[in-house]
Amino acid sequence: GAGVSQTPSNKVTEKGKYVELRCDPISGHTALYWYRQSLGQGPEFLIYFQGTGAADDSGLPNDRFFAVRPEGSVSTLKIQRTERGDSAVYLCASSSSDPRGELFFGPGTRLTVL
Amino acid sequence: GNSVTQMEGPVTLSEEAFLTINCTYTATGYPSLFWYVQYPGEGLQLLLKATKADDKGSNKGFEATYRKETTSFHLEKGSVQVSDSAVYFCALSETGGSYIPTFGRGTSLIVHP
């Protein structure tokens, strides 16, 4: 497919467990963003990759959250010791090298921590 | 820091009514401004954008003008359709900075036939 894909679409886990969320960006897009969206809120920035490196991770809420993009394409957001407050929709977006350009969003992963 | 403030929703209109969704922003520099739309069950997608003061972005009958003097980027459409029912997000991206877009909380639009 030509768009951004995210897997899984839904993830239900128990408090304290570890989860991984995957993002497959549009081919050739060097920039990749992770956002988190809670009910009734706008997307909240988590981390931004330019190529393989995390150019800005200032939005990660604490050290339980970590993301990688080892080959400059697919990215994985990892959450350790999940808490109920982590429940949200996690959005991934990619864009071309033009920093003022459009972000292309995936459909999101809905994470529910019981 | 940067921030975006949108009017509270939901906005409920009848088909063919005029739409305004207010958006104001705070930024330290000269941002680019965007409206994204999220249709039910779909991901966010860009609706329109403006990159400098007095620019007008337009798409699908929607318009928004970048007003630096009032730090606003209000979204308007002259005649809404049922298919316009969605959540609309105003966003800014600071030029000369990290360019990471900051989003407003979104405004839900419901259009009745």
Residue A105 forms contact with B (CB below 8 Å): yes
pLDDT at A100: 66
Distance from CA of A48 to the nearest CA of B (A): 8
pLDDT tens profile A11-64: 999 999 999 999 999 999 999 999 999 988 999 999 999 999 988 999 999 999
Q: What is the mean pLDDT of chain B?
A: 93
Strands A88-95 and A109-113, bridge-based pairing: antiparallel
State yes or no: pLDDT of A68 exceeds 90: yes
Adjacent-strand bridge partners of B54: none
pLDDT at B96: 63
Using the beta-carbon criterion (under 8 Å), do B98 and A55 form an inter-chain contact?
A: yes
Predicted confidence band of residue B3 (pLDDT cuts 50, 70, 90): very high
Using the beta-carbon criterion (under 8 Å), do A40 and B105 form an inter-chain contact?
A: yes
Residue of B nearest to A108 (CA): B43
Phi, psi for A85 (deg, rounded to 5): -70, -10
pLDDT tens profile B29-69: 889 999 999 999 888 999 999 999 999 999 999 999 999 99
